[in-house]
Structure 1
Amino acid sequence: MKITRITSHVLQYDLPSELGYSQQYYTRRTAHIVEVETDEGITGWGECFGPGNVAIANRTIVEQVIQPLVLGMNPLDRDVVWHKVYNLLRDHGQKGMPLQSLSGVDIALWDIAGKVAGLPLCQLVGGRHRDRVQAYGYGMMLKRQSTEDHVARFRDEAAMIRDMGFAATKMKVGLGPKDDVKLCAAVRDGVGDEFRFMVDANHCYTTSDAFYVGRALEELDAYWFEEPVAPEDLDGYRELRAGLKVNISGGEAEFNRWGWRQILENRGLDIAQPEVCALGGISEYLRVLALAHAHHTPVVNHVWGSAIAVATNLHLLAAMPPLPGGLFPWEPLLEFDTTDNKFRDNLLTDPLDIQGQVKANGGYVAIPEGPGLGVTPDRDFLKHYAI
């Protein structure tokens, strides 16, 4: 079997309304789907992390840089493919967009391997530790409105996400430390005292401001404080973890096993959040997961993008060993973006219907059946939304 072609499908549409987080506002939803074809008619699907113009740039890397390196190679030699591409691109970037691009190709190769073996991805990587996964719903994005309007909207939206059946919810912050504390208090008020909520700062704080917000989160009993400081600030992460009771999480902006080794040895995370569509694909994710468990650090995958990313993560979460184990082990969660996303809800010939499953099954989502990822994109849909 040989790889005959790699195609990037970059999709985009205008959102119903502008959304924002601590770094920017955006008006369009983008997804980057990778298709790997073989001479035996078996096709694999993957996804590259990266919105907007980043996805367009990554398409060039996938098709013009990675594809010539791997054409004619056996797609089942996925670790050989991974190291060939990484080693030849090492001089041009050990992190960032080259790794995002490699991630989509690698995921597609695992999809092919599952189809050849007749096994779902979760069994291919070790087996199912669980047949279903609880999901948490995130929303409460920033908009161009007053703090008071944010407070009222966040309180109502948090309650709405809870009532949709999700196991927990996550909010954005980024208005500034004092106003952000008001937003967090509103979310706690909206969901009540017993419901878990998490706070995502998207690395907008200095360490001192993160301590200010983090101490308020202790009082509000938040479950985790995500990306409080810049991903490069490993000392800041370590200081926050040592000085705060709230769980410190992060890692979505880190790449490959070498970057993750630094984070984990630094002991700055209570919860690791690797992004499989960015850090190097499934091959590298499995190595990062092993590193995290070697450092006794629980993992909750970062999930962003289309139904391909969601399906990939459902399989990986199903195959994640419990840490540390026991009668009532700590269980991972599926991250689910509750904002408008046609590329997640309408991309597949057989939709995952995550929200419907959550509502019907007490917050739980089933693992896709079928070989590989167990999902197939609708080609008419790909054509309709292609850039």
Structure 2
Amino acid sequence: MPTIKSVAVSAYSAPLEAPITNGLYTYTATQIVACRLELSNGISAIGWTHGEKIVFTAAEAIAAMLIGQELNAERLWARMYQPKLFGRRGLEQRALSALDIAVWDGLGKEAGMSVHRLLGGFHDSVPAYKAGGYYGEGKSLEDLQREVSGHVEGGARALKMKIGAVSVAEDLARIDAVRTAIGPDVGLLVDVNNAYDRITAEKMAAALDERDIYWYEEPLSPDDLKGAADLAGRTRTPVASGENEYTLWGFRDLIDASAADVINADAQILGGITEWAKCAHYAQAKHIPVAPHGDQEIHTQLVAAVPNGLIVEYYDNSLNRLKDVMFDQRLDLNADGSITPFSTPGLGVEIQDQAVERYRVAHSVVC
């Protein structure tokens, strides 16, 4: 088994063309922290997560624990997690996630297999939905309709839009406008980003039950498992959650509470591919599908690997300004709106360091 010789950690920031707002927060830039492992057998392996420059600091510190160690995912994960240098959730888990994803890219390359095949390879391709429908300054209903119509014309067969930043009545008008634009045959997902209290969440749920909505994502605080379970038990619209769970144990509690019908486990947040696979299999045992939040370049490999993989989130360049320049290959939608994981060893993409150098705001090599 090869050992890890060095770890390069880089932080990138690319301004969006215009700010985008969800139920709680306005984003002005795409911010990524990427890691590159150099192995003793000459393999170079990559992983990345989203987060501000402070995630870079955490990743740099944790990376030092990997030097000289064999490329063993479980051992390395325990070695990174147990010291808890920056706490047990949040910042530390994002940094650890990027490093663990790089470990799996290396394992795939060492085995000559894609991560998809390494984890089981259950599906050849999986459905995808186009993320979008954010709020924007001066963005009218007509602007929103033009946006979603463009996604459908581009091949999307399911779309997600943001709600929660305005009144229920205003958001219902937005939902109805989108449905008019995309027609009855395109799946429509709505995402609150935890913006509602229980009363508002119930009010919106009742209205969504009268509409054809694929799922109702994160209506309540991620800490309100009781409220989420009550809501999921009453609404006919499937409730999706888990984007803000940072550990396997958090997903155990979420699933055991029956607080979600669909699990949005994000490998870039919860501790990487090592923990994502455990969450997916725990959900499988409870007959719950997994549909990750986060980058398609990683999650297509994972959703396609497991029997309960449901659908992949797909970001275009308007939401991820680094997507089209960072990687050497584009992962595009198929004609039927599905997506197929790359079959080349590892994740199937490489970071083009020179292409993204102008967006780099921090860099360090640990050896």
Indicate the SS of the match to 1:34.
Answer: strand
Q: 1:299 deviation in Å? A: 0.9
- 1:378 is matched with which residue: 325, 331, 352? 352
Indicate the SS of the match to 1:249.
Answer: strand
**Structure 2 partner of 1:326:** none
Find the aligned partners of 2:78 and 2:93 in 1 and give their Cα distance: 12
Please, what TM-score do these two structures have when normalized by structure 2?
Answer: 0.93
Q: 1:150 deviation in Å? A: 3.3
Indicate the SS of the match to 1:278.
Answer: coil
Q: 1:193 deviation in Å? A: 2.3
- 1:150 is matched with which residue: 140, 147, 154? 140
Aligned residues: CA RMSD: 1.6
Q: Specify the code of the residue in structure 2 equivalent to 1:59.
A: F
Q: 1:62 deviation in Å? A: 1.0
361-370 or 219-228, larger mean C-alpha shift = 361-370
Q: Does the 8 Å CA contact 1:200/1:226 hold for their aligned counterparts?
A: yes
Q: Specify the code of the residue in structure 2 equivalent to 1:374.
A: G
**Structure 1 partner of 2:134:** 141
Find the aligned partners of 1:270 and 1:74 in 2 and give their Cα distance: 38
Find the aligned partners of 1:212 and 1:338 in 2 and give their Cα distance: 32
26-35 or 280-289, larger mean C-alpha shift = 26-35
Q: Specify the code of the residue in structure 2 equivalent to 1:208.
A: I
Cα shift readout 1:335-361 (whole Å, capped 9, x = no counterpart): 112352332222122x2241xx44xx2
**Structure 2 partner of 1:320:** 306
Q: Which runs of 4+ in 1 moved over 3 A?
A: none
Q: 1:92 deviation in Å? A: 4.4
Q: Does 1:225 align with 2:216?
A: yes
User: Structure 1 residues 339 and 139 mapped into 2: Cα distance closer, same or farther (>3 Å)?
Assistant: farther
Q: Does the 8 Å CA contact 1:188/1:220 hold for their aligned counterparts?
A: no
Indicate the SS of the match to 2:17.
Answer: strand
Q: 1:15 deviation in Å? A: 1.5
Find the aligned partners of 1:62 and 1:338 in 2 and give their Cα distance: 26
**Structure 1 partner of 2:62:** 66
Cα shift readout 1:155-207 (whole Å, capped 9, x = no counterpart): 33222222221120110112122211211111122212232101001010001
Q: 1:153 deviation in Å? A: 2.2
Find the aligned partners of 1:57 and 1:111 in 2 and give their Cα distance: 24
Q: 1:95 deviation in Å? A: 1.2
Q: Does the 8 Å CA contact 1:300/1:334 hold for their aligned counterparts?
A: yes
**Structure 2 partner of 1:31:** 32
Q: Does the 8 Å CA contact 1:6/1:37 hold for their aligned counterparts?
A: yes
1:103-114 equivalences in 2 (<5 Å): 103-114=97-108
**Structure 2 partner of 1:18:** 19
Q: Does the 8 Å CA contact 1:180/1:213 hold for their aligned counterparts?
A: no
Q: Does 1:251 align with 2:242?
A: yes
**Structure 2 partner of 1:123:** 117
Higher RCO structure, 1 or 2 (CA under 8 Å, sep 6+): 2
**Structure 1 partner of 2:74:** 79
Q: Does the 8 Å CA contact 1:142/1:150 hold for their aligned counterparts?
A: no
Q: Specify the code of the residue in structure 2 equivalent to 1:88.
A: P
Q: Does the 8 Å CA contact 1:139/1:339 hold for their aligned counterparts?
A: no
Q: Specify the code of the residue in structure 1 equivalent to 2:67.
A: L
Identity of aligned residues (%): 27
Q: Specify the code of the residue in structure 1 equivalent to 2:324.
A: D
**Structure 2 partner of 1:88:** 83
Indicate the SS of the match to 2:41.
Answer: coil
Cα shift readout 1:44-63 (whole Å, capped 9, x = no counterpart): 1001232xxxx311111111
Q: Does the 8 Å CA contact 1:168/1:196 hold for their aligned counterparts?
A: yes
Indicate the SS of the match to 2:245.
Answer: coil
Give the structure with the larger helix fraction: 1
Q: 1:283 deviation in Å? A: 0.4
Q: Does the 8 Å CA contact 2:149/2:182 hold for their aligned counterparts?
A: yes
Find the aligned partners of 2:54 and 2:191 in 1 and give their Cα distance: 27
**Structure 2 partner of 1:327:** none
Indicate the SS of the match to 2:269.
Answer: helix
1:118-267 equivalences in 2 (<5 Å): 118-126=112-120, 128-145=121-138, 149-173=139-163, 174-267=165-258
Find the aligned partners of 2:352 and 2:137 in 1 and give their Cα distance: 35
Q: 1:264 deviation in Å? A: 0.4
Q: Please list every run of 5 or more consecutive structure 2 residues that lacks an aligned counterpart in the other structure.
A: 362-367
Q: Does 1:347 align with 2:326?
A: yes
Q: Does the 8 Å CA contact 2:291/2:312 hold for their aligned counterparts?
A: yes
- Between the two proteins, the alignment pairs up a number of residues equal to 358
Q: 1:107 deviation in Å? A: 0.6
Q: Does the 8 Å CA contact 1:6/1:62 hold for their aligned counterparts?
A: no
